[in-house]
A and B are shown apart, each in its own frame.
Chain A
Amino acid sequence: MKEIDELNLPGDIYYSKEHEWAAKEGDIIRIGISDYAQDQLGDIVFVELPETGSSFERDEEFGTLESVKAVSEIYLPVSGEIVAVNSELEDAPELLNEDPYANWIVEVRPTDIDQYDELLSKDDYVAMLKG
């Protein structure tokens, strides 16, 4: 397992307490899982994605990731409507292990953009991981 200082945590995106990342692209927010999450899960073998057009509240479960050992829920860090899902992950879930940032999971049109700024910066996230 990676030490905290070995994790790849880009400084230009935000993080959630549940180990998702969020990146603003115009008026859309891309969501994925952090390097910490993929490292903890181990090999991801299945990704359950939501329907495009469905809406979720902040911190609501929007899908699941499966490693060989466990099922893990993924939570939406901002309320909004799913405008796109990365369907490449359905055939190649291991992409999340290979590069959890290039391989986003969903794109969300947020209902309240202020929620984005309430997420954790890289420094806040690292501080949380260090407990």
Chain B
Amino acid sequence: MTEAKQLKTTALHSSHLTHDANMAEFGGYDMPLWYPSGTKAEHLAVISRAGLFDTSHMAVLTLEGRGAFELLQHSYTRDLLHCQGKSNTPLSEGSSVYGLFLRSDGTVLDDAIIGQLGAERYMIVVNSSMGAAVSAHLRELSEGGVTITDYTDELGKIDLQGPASARILHSLLSDPEQVLADMGYFTFKGDIFPGGSTALRLKDGTSVVLSRTGYTGEFGFELFAEKADILHLWDTLLGAGEPYGLLPCGLAARDSLRAGAMLPLSHQDIGDWLFGHTPWSFVLPWDQKGDGWTKTFIGGEQLLQGKRDYTYGFAGYDPRKITISSSSEVQDGHGTPIGIILTCTTDMAIGRVGEHIFSIATAISKGRPDSFQARGLSCGFVRVGRPCEPGEKVLLVEGKRKLTVEIRKNIRPDRTARAPMARMRNR
């Protein structure tokens, strides 16, 4: 028997238990893996309608004071002067950006979404149980003048994800037109932190940060609120979503959705090794020539000089997976070991017709056959010691079990995360 660990719980814990969620430990918290409707139904709901996730285990920090900008320029992989939109404009109030905190040896401490609350005021969202480590890292690099506060235990976070998300929110906002109309991908509204002046309140008075971000690859929002408001907010969203087929979703669906969307899980797909050639190279501040950085930052020099390996997405040919263990590996077509498996799950919304991958969300006009039925495909990430080309077949091996999978630039097609707001509000 393993010793019972003292797990943390979110403000929604008793609600999860009341609703018969299958619970498990994740990141030091007792979290729902799935609800009675099951992982597959939850995954498909987010693709075709909407799903609601308790993500209160994520850590939320603020960084403020003179020197906050300089500290992030020094510690974060994104160049905050050149990170927004296609024209690489500076991060501005109400916008956020995804990047990494590296250690001085170029390994990944954690990934983070940083939102600008105001001049020299930022909110930083990092992974479960990482609030203390990232705070300590920033304090160590700070030259004073800034305040770093960990709000994780005072706040909660709920993700509303899926194409119906804006229509579900619409009924809860007193002025939906004003709030939603101009909300682009990676922008947010509201400020629930001390000193904030731009409150966003729902009709019922609940103060929230509403952010057009998420971890599913689909259109949607993350909502941050005071811990005391979270249960009410959850129930309100579930009620408003009922006519749209909104389902509460657990971490299993969150994992399969993010893998199909080519999003990394920190400490699994990126982590305690030199950040290599990955599908997420956009997080680095590449200069115009593409061989150096636009700024100096912690870990940057080590990335340029160290031996960086290669991380790729893959998709299989049916739902079969490989269990990741100390003996699982990736082999090339000749059976030579070339690396390890980082993530292997099943995206239940996709399937192949011949070699081509379709999603249940693919329009008929874009070639999805009328008779298409998604049986699900295994997918995830591998880390290998040599470059691979998209389309190359590799073997995932564990014991006597072998699966052929294809190296891919993209896994689940026709995702909606970046879809124009106007289209998603009127669908």
A interface list, Cβ under 8 A from B: 1, 42-43, 45-46, 48, 64, 66-71, 94, 97
Quick check: A68 and B252 within 8 Å, CB to CB? Answer: yes
Using known A-B contacts A42-B33, A46-B376, determine if residue A69 contacts B319 with beta carbons closer than 8 Å.
no
Query: Of B23, B323, B348, which contacts A68 at CB under 8 A?
Result: B348
Alpha-carbon separation in the docked complex, A44 to B310 (Å): 32
**Tally of contact residues, B, Cβ under 8 A:** 25
Quick check: A71 and B40 within 8 Å, CB to CB? Answer: no
A-B contact number at CB 8 A: 56
Chain B interface, >50% SS class: mixed
Quick check: A66 and B346 within 8 Å, CB to CB? Answer: yes
Quick check: A68 and B322 within 8 Å, CB to CB? Answer: no
B321 at the A interface (CB under 8 A)? yes
Quick check: A70 and B323 within 8 Å, CB to CB? Answer: yes
B interface list, Cβ under 8 A from A: 20, 22-23, 33-34, 38-41, 43, 252-253, 255-256, 318-323, 345-346, 348, 376, 401
Query: Of A42, A46, A71, which contacts B323 at CB under 8 A?
Result: A71
Quick check: B33 and A45 within 8 Å, CB to CB? Answer: no
Most chain B beta-carbon neighbours within 10 Å: one of A42, A45, A46, A64: A45
Enumerate chain B residues within 8 angstroms of A64, measured Cβ to Cβ: 320, 401
Q: How far is the CB of B46 from chain A (nearest CB, A)?
A: 13
Known: A43-B41, A68-B346. 9 other contacts (CB 8 A): A43-B39, A46-B318, A64-B401, A66-B346, A68-B40, A68-B345, A69-B39, A69-B252, A70-B323
Closest B residue to A69 by beta carbon equals: B252
Quick check: B320 and A68 within 8 Å, CB to CB? Answer: no
Enumerate chain B residues within 8 angstroms of A1, measured Cβ to Cβ: 20, 22-23
Quick check: B34 and A45 within 8 Å, CB to CB? Answer: no
Between A and B, 20 residue pairs with Cβ closer than 8 Å are: A1-B20, A42-B34, A42-B252, A43-B34, A43-B41, A45-B319, A46-B319, A46-B320, A64-B320, A64-B401, A66-B321, A66-B346, A68-B345, A68-B346, A68-B348, A69-B39, A69-B255, A69-B345, A70-B323, A71-B323
Alpha-carbon separation in the docked complex, A71 to B328 (Å): 13
